[in-house]
Structure 1
Amino acid sequence: MIYDNLLVPTARAPITSGLRQGEEFTPYAALVERVGRLAAGLIERGIGRGDPVALLIPNSPDLFVTAHALFAIGAIAMPLGETATRSELAALAYKTGPNAVISTPGLAAAAEMLIADAAPGIPLLLTSTLPEGNATAQLPKLAGDTTALYLFSSGSTGLPKVVPHTHAELLADSERASAAWELQPDDIVLDILPGNFSLGFLLGATQAVAGGATTLYWSDPLPLALSRKKLLDTMVRERVTVMGAVPATYEIVTGQTGSFDLGLRLAFSGGVALKRPIFEAVRERLGTALRQDYGSTEASMFSHNNSADPDASWASVGKPAGDARVRIVPFETELGPSVGEMEIQSSSLMRGYLGDAVANDEAFDEGWFRTGDLASLDEEGRIVIRGRSKLLIEVSGYKVDPIEVEETLMTLPAVAEAAVAGLPDSRSGNRLIAFVVKGADVSADELIRYARDRLSVQKVPDEIAFIDALPRSPAGKVLRARLREL
């Protein structure tokens, strides 16, 4: 279904539209032809409808082509983080049971460890030697409710949840996003986010192409703080018109000295709340008003702030886009009676987490998805996010589950107890502070090194605070709000 729909915008797109990375550019017509050949080759290798396939591929044209080949045969694309640790990759594989792994040569060692740890015997295919078959081979007809994609969303259990999306949901999201952003074939869309990040994957794989726009994938071995001038030079040279990123990215980019003549018509932000200084820096340095969007792994793109006066509404994530709907449910809070938990519906909302009935009971309220965000609506019906009703801590656009971090720290015998809290930070949204009760002598540096070896970088505590006992209620529950007062 996605493959059939891919043929429509790519057939209309000019030869100048396609995917670009570095010096390489491939027009959509050539990409679609390769997708067809790869799809036929994967069928010949025994991969077919309903088979989950783990993808250890950085966000790139390779990820686009591989994912669409899997979509075309009814298999399930499962992008994984290239910086994830061995134990994290194994945990995700245990949850989904992949039938194969496709990796770049540079990530082959990690792919081999994933297979050894969680899926012995499944094949490893490299992007450099993927099998290709007859591009005119018969591809299956797929219904809209066919599962196409597995993404991962952290939850209160301390373990990632599997978020399945169907062909129909991904198509609905791509239509909603491309319409809200008014994407056109002459747009150059910068995709700077990782491929396992919901927006990073969808922007490059389905959203930009729905409008016939070109996707420019950015990658550099150096951290963004050291490569931002190179990024800005590339944006000027390639005439980037649309950019989506988390606030921390904009803060780093706008910190570059000197002047640069960008042609951005749209820059949008998501992941964490946008701070006013970053909004002002983007307007001053990049020459555009930074818009806020709202989305989630479970619902994909949901709302976009397209107000005629973005300055007056900079704190809003806008109105629901397309067929998306929102309601505010009363929630016990000190923020006032107009603030409640935001629940949403849309045609791109997942039907439920994979194999997790308990989580699904908690996540849905008579068909409405409980976002866990506290929000209110302004006089024009725009959504203003006011806080979180769940435990997740937002760090640089990632939703970090404190329980996962705590459980990791407590696998070290020297840690008797641990509780993690987030403290507001202007760059990342939150800094992670781990409050630790010692069971034996251990230093803060040792604990951070221990966490760094086992957790992705955004989950590693920024600070360790040693305390004698965790604050608890009479029933024994950790009083997390009290942690910030310690």
Structure 2
Amino acid sequence: MPDIPSDRPWLAAYERYGISATIDMPEDNTSLLEVFERNFRRYGQKPAYICMGASISFKQLDLYSRQIASYLQSLGLAKGDKVGVMMPNILQYPIVALGILRAGMILVNVNPLYTSRELSHQLDDSGVKALFIVENFAKTYQEATNKSKVKNVIVCKLGDMLGLLKGTVVNLVARHVKKMIPSYNLPESNSFKEALNSVSASKYKRPDLNLSDVALLQYTGGTTGVAKGAMLSHGNLVANMLQISALMDSAFDDDANANDVILTALPLYHVFSFMVCGMYGMYQGYAGLLIPNPRDLDGLIKEMAKYKPSFIPAVNTLFNGLVNKESFAALDFSNLKAAIGGGTSVLPSVAKEWHKITGLPIVEGYGLSETSPVVAFNPMTIAEFTGKIGIPASSTDIILIDDDENEVAIGERGEICVKGPQVMIGYQNRPDETAETFTATGYLKTGDIGIMDDKGFTKIVDRKKDMILVSGFNVYPNEIEEIMSEHPAVKECGAIGIPSAERGEDPKIFVVKKGEVTEQELLDFGKKNLTGYKRPRHVQFVDELPKSNVGKILRKELRKMEGLD
């Protein structure tokens, strides 16, 4: 735990809003397993997760996750081995994620929308030995290279946990009506049902774990254009659960008998949703309403009408989509306790419309994959949207520094740096990048430029890095440039983010041609080789790119050309 100086301005805000200044961490020889086991006993028959009209209780989640843990152990996998999960928000996700952790293994979240190329990198870098994948994306895995370390592939179907009749119908519709499943051939794979039922839960061997053991490998964009895995320990994740709890307890009663539902529309493979909807939701005994396809706003709104969620964590894109649907405005919001914004800044215009429709402000927080993720938040009892990221989480110190790592004065611009029990161990396989990410005094450098006011509330005003934020996802220009430059008609290109009302920012590339090529051909090339949120949405042809005297593309000049700087 960091020693937080007594003159930090946000300490008075803790008192004002009734937020505990510190968290009490459990003993070092404990882990997430104690948290899960407590919850399984405490919440028993309460629904843990709901999806497509089916639900599983905490008691069932206990059994199913132990069966998956037993299965993984029966494969000969050992404590500390990595197991990937590549699926959207369906009932199998929490079962498998908890099974991996209960087996003492390391969960590796994999974006199911990855291209084969992106998947190849993550499989190689993480060293996963087993992969759970929904069959919709099995062809992506089949076409991936660098998968020699993956010894076991378990293929799930969308309807596997929906009951025999409904599950059969859902699988038939997905395959034959909606044509969602490209044909694939993975002869060595097992089915999810085989994995779930082949080994008894009684065979489970509870591993010895402690707070310093790695629990999660969460991939984030790399400054060198390659995604890198942030190693998050059991202690990191437990700390962040307790930090969120300190915030929520200041505003809401911790009632174990409450029937609160937390909308889980953001994908659980994203660290914001993984912690807030997944880990913290289970910690509090909420029922997680899993939405496999949040882009289907009409379907999402029907689920919200049916289950009346108490908590709605979302990103600006989703808030904006909802407030522009008449059917959303017609919902009953009497159960709604809080709307929580994260991932990227919520636009004031969207926040205003949300408040008008629901009667509640959007409460923004701030975090990173490297911080499990929550770093700061606004108090839950604010009357209006603030446009700020709030105050540091309990037991968290934030400083703002200049380029020489000197702290700047209150009211001055500086890079936001964080120290706290939720900060990662480091990046896997990248000791040099890990070292560069921390200051000499041990603070994690976020790359975001902020201004802190005299009450300890911080506003983000700029980015030190060239990162592009698309719907809450980090996109690094290097990766776009590297891949788009492989097109035979592209001599070189530079990428920046430009404003988007729908997604916050869209990637745009400036291209110097060496052959005939159209804008559409480049957009199609990007679509083939990059995940949806990373692919360029705009192309501009130029005769040359602005560069420094050592040949580095000056993205700041590209932004000026776009009228952004």
TM-score (norm 1): 0.94
SS at match of 1:181: helix
Counterpart amino acid of residue 353 in structure 2: A
Moved more, 228-237 or 61-70: 228-237
Cα separation, partners in 2 of 1:41 and 1:375, compared to 1, 3 Å:
same
Which of 370, 373, 379 in structure 2 is aligned with 1:306?
379
Which of 451, 460, 468 in structure 2 is aligned with 1:376?
451
Which of 530, 539, 545 in structure 2 is aligned with 1:464?
539
Q: Does 1:7 align with 2:37?
A: yes
Structure 1, gaps ≥5 residues long: none
SS at match of 1:109: helix
| Superposed CA offset, 1:441-472 (max 9, x none) | 11110011001000001111111000000012
Cα separation, partners in 2 of 1:121 and 1:322, compared to 1, 3 Å:
closer
Which of 353, 366, 381 in structure 2 is aligned with 1:294?
366
Which of 260, 266, 275 in structure 2 is aligned with 1:202?
275
Cα separation, partners in 2 of 1:179 and 1:229, compared to 1, 3 Å:
farther
Counterpart amino acid of residue 48 in structure 1: A
Q: Supply the distance in 2 between the matched residues of 1:19 and 1:145 (Cα, whole angstroms).
A: 29
Q: Supply the distance in 2 between the matched residues of 1:336 and 1:429 (Cα, whole angstroms).
A: 28
In the TM superposition, residue 29 of structure 1 has moved relative to its aligned partner by: 1.4
Q: Does 1:176 align with 2:243?
A: yes
> Any conservation in 2 of the 1:329–1:343 contact (CA below 8 Å)?
yes
Q: Does 1:396 align with 2:471?
A: yes
Structure 2, gaps ≥5 residues long: 1-30, 156-191
Which of 212, 216, 227 in structure 1 is aligned with 2:289?
216
Q: Supply the distance in 2 between the matched residues of 1:451 and 1:327 (Cα, whole angstroms).
A: 39
| Superposed CA offset, 1:313-372 (max 9, x none) | 52111111221221111259xx99611000001211101111112211220012100000
SS at match of 2:278: helix
In the TM superposition, residue 427 of structure 1 has moved relative to its aligned partner by: 2.6
Question: Which residues of 2 match residues 471-486 of structure 1 at below 5 A?
Answer: 471-486=546-561
Q: Which structure is higher in RCO with an 8 Å CA cutoff and minimum separation 6?
A: 2
Q: Does 1:124 align with 2:153?
A: yes
Which of 364, 372, 375 in structure 1 is aligned with 2:438?
364
In the TM superposition, residue 308 of structure 1 has moved relative to its aligned partner by: 4.2
SS at match of 1:47: coil
Question: Which residues of 2 match residues 222-241 of structure 1 at below 5 A?
Answer: 224=295, 227-241=296-310
Question: What residue in structure 2 maps to residue 449 of structure 1?
Answer: 524
> Any conservation in 2 of the 1:56–1:82 contact (CA below 8 Å)?
yes
In the TM superposition, residue 129 of structure 1 has moved relative to its aligned partner by: 2.0
Question: What residue in structure 2 maps to residue 28 of structure 1?
Answer: 58
Q: Does 1:72 align with 2:102?
A: yes
The CA RMSD measured in Å over matched residues stands at 2.0
> Any conservation in 1 of the 2:221–2:476 contact (CA below 8 Å)?
yes
SS at match of 2:245: helix
Counterpart amino acid of residue 231 in structure 1: L
SS at match of 1:40: helix
SS at match of 2:289: strand
Q: Supply the distance in 1 between the matched residues of 2:246 and 2:62 (Cα, whole angstroms).
A: 22
Q: Supply the distance in 2 between the matched residues of 1:395 and 1:42 (Cα, whole angstroms).
A: 35
Question: What residue in structure 2 maps to residue 190 of structure 1?
Answer: 263
Question: Which residues of 2 match residues 200-349 of structure 1 at below 5 A?
Answer: 200-220=273-293, 224=295, 227-258=296-327, 259-262=330-333, 263-299=335-371, 300-306=373-379, 308-311=381-384, 314-331=386-403, 338-349=412-423
Q: Supply the distance in 1 between the matched residues of 2:414 and 2:83 (Cα, whole angstroms).
A: 39
Q: Supply the distance in 2 between the matched residues of 1:423 and 1:270 (Cα, whole angstroms).
A: 20
Matched positions, count: 478
Q: Supply the distance in 1 between the matched residues of 2:246 and 2:134 (Cα, whole angstroms).
A: 33
Counterpart amino acid of residue 345 in structure 2: A
Q: Supply the distance in 1 between the matched residues of 2:447 and 2:149 (Cα, whole angstroms).
A: 37
Cα separation, partners in 2 of 1:124 and 1:251, compared to 1, 3 Å:
same
Question: What residue in structure 1 maps to residue 183 of structure 2?
Answer: none
> Any conservation in 2 of the 1:330–1:337 contact (CA below 8 Å)?
no
Question: Which residues of 2 match residues 86-165 of structure 1 at below 5 A?
Answer: 86-114=116-144, 117-119=146-148, 122-126=151-155, 127-130=192-195, 131-135=198-202, 137-165=204-232
Q: Supply the distance in 2 between the matched residues of 1:247 and 1:448 (Cα, whole angstroms).
A: 25
> Any conservation in 1 of the 2:400–2:417 contact (CA below 8 Å)?
yes
In the TM superposition, residue 233 of structure 1 has moved relative to its aligned partner by: 2.7
In the TM superposition, residue 106 of structure 1 has moved relative to its aligned partner by: 3.5
SS at match of 2:202: coil
> Any conservation in 2 of the 1:341–1:375 contact (CA below 8 Å)?
yes
> Any conservation in 2 of the 1:184–1:212 contact (CA below 8 Å)?
no
> Any conservation in 1 of the 2:32–2:238 contact (CA below 8 Å)?
yes
Counterpart amino acid of residue 432 in structure 2: V
| Superposed CA offset, 1:96-138 (max 9, x none) | 1111112234433333444x54226611123232143233633
SS at match of 1:367: coil
| Superposed CA offset, 1:409-462 (max 9, x none) | 111121111000112223312122100000111111001100100000111111
> Any conservation in 2 of the 1:178–1:208 contact (CA below 8 Å)?
no
TM-score (norm 2): 0.81
| Superposed CA offset, 1:24-82 (max 9, x none) | 11111111122222212221111221111121222232111111111112111112111
Cα separation, partners in 2 of 1:308 and 1:188, compared to 1, 3 Å:
closer
Question: What residue in structure 1 maps to residue 174 of structure 2?
Answer: none
Counterpart amino acid of residue 75 in structure 1: M
> Any conservation in 2 of the 1:88–1:455 contact (CA below 8 Å)?
yes
SS at match of 1:457: coil
In the TM superposition, residue 385 of structure 1 has moved relative to its aligned partner by: 1.1
Question: What residue in structure 2 maps to residue 84 of structure 1?
Answer: 114
Q: Supply the distance in 2 between the matched residues of 1:478 and 1:415 (Cα, whole angstroms).
A: 15
In the TM superposition, residue 261 of structure 1 has moved relative to its aligned partner by: 1.3
Q: Supply the distance in 2 between the matched residues of 1:337 and 1:318 (Cα, whole angstroms).
A: 14
Counterpart amino acid of residue 196 in structure 1: Y
> Any conservation in 2 of the 1:54–1:102 contact (CA below 8 Å)?
yes
> Any conservation in 2 of the 1:33–1:135 contact (CA below 8 Å)?
no
